[in-house]
Amino acid sequence: MLFAFIAIIAGLMLLLWSAGRFVDGAAKTASHFGMPPLLIGMIVVGFGTSAPEMLVSALAASQGNAGIALGNAYGSNITNIALILGLTAVISPIAVHSQVLRKELPLLILVTAVAAWQLWDGQISRVDALILIALFTLLMIWTVRQGMQQRQDTLAAEVEQELTTGTESVQKSLLWLSVGLVLLIISSRILVWGAVEVATLLGISDLMIGLTIVAVGTSLPELASSLIAARKGEHDIALGNIIGSNLFNTLAVVGIAGLIQPLSAGPEVFNRDMLVMAALTMSLFILGYGFGKTGRINRFEGGLLLLSYAGYTAYLIAEVIAA
């Protein structure tokens, strides 16, 4: 048991470190070969924080652990909104601009509805996965076009500056790219093994482990970037980071896992976890809209999000004890 817990902790630490090295190496390699810095910035931000979820769910699916694959993706979405965004709002209230209410949040709600519709029968088939990947591809195309039209994007500009000031050679960038990729795969295997082992020894489902320990662990990049953005007063980045990550998790993470192996889920995934995820997503729209006032997620509302995460986690623990 102790070794399995150590494997989870070590796997998470190595996963997060290797994800940073892989994305940094990929960005600098792309820069060396002439890829536009703006597009690199968008890919770094979008892919970098979601690489842990993608690798863990893909490996879990390949090993037949659908519970970890789905629990990691949907649990990360719940963690992103209730825990990370709630904590961020408590530290610094988040302003929600009209563009987010008109475009990004309705898009996230639509994608969540598609995911709920697919999970209605308790399975993510390969056809469902292809639909998710197709939607993700369309979303990426739309995002790239929006980014090219709005070159003043703050986050992209910051990443662009970091890339253009780097002095690493292409050989060193390729080395970090390769090392990061290898360690991502190794650390994901360690984490999945540890999670499955703990679930087996404790007599609980791998879904529970995926929804809690694995989901929180793979969401640490979002937590770090959101807290840093909140401290700097960059509310757009904090909120955009969460919305972008949830879109990535719902479409790409579940889609890739479903392509590798169709994912079967018990009724509790739809009746409990999917409904909680959908309710939290809708709450973002309601809180952001502000009932006709200036959109703002204040400290009190952030506290409510934190309480909802505590309540959800307590409910999961109660179910484990009752079983």
What pLDDT score was predicted for residue 97?
A: 72
CA torsion sign for 108, 113, 118, 121 is: positive
Element (H, E) at 1: none
Question: Can you tell me which residue has the tokens 């970037």?
Answer: 225
Beta carbons of 211 and 75 less than 8 angstroms apart: yes
The first and second tokens of residue 110, run together, are 């639509």
Report phi then psi at 251, rounded to 5.
-95, -60
CA nearest 282: which of 70, 71, 108? 108
Beta carbons of 19 and 198 less than 8 angstroms apart: no
Q: How do residues 98-137 score in pLDDT, each as one tens digit?
A: 666 678 888 999 999 999 999 999 999 999 999 999 999 9
CA nearest 38: which of 189, 195, 170, 151? 151
Listing DSSP states for 203-259 in one string gives T--HHHHIIIIIHHHHTHHHHHHHHHHHHTT-HHHHHHHHHHHHHHIIIIIHHHHHH
Q: What's 293's DSSP letter?
A: S
Amino acid type, 298: N
Instruction: Collect the ranges in the chain with pLDDT lower than 70.
Output: 19, 23, 26-27, 30-49, 98-101, 147-168, 234-237, 290-294
What pLDDT score was predicted for residue 155?
A: 47
Its pTM surpasses 0.85: no
Superfamily in which the 2-322 domain is placed by CATH = NCX, central ion-binding region (1.20.1420.30)
What pLDDT score was predicted for residue 30?
A: 65
Residue spans per domain, the chain: 2-322
Phi-psi region of 123 (alpha: psi -120 to 50; beta: other; left: phi over 0): beta
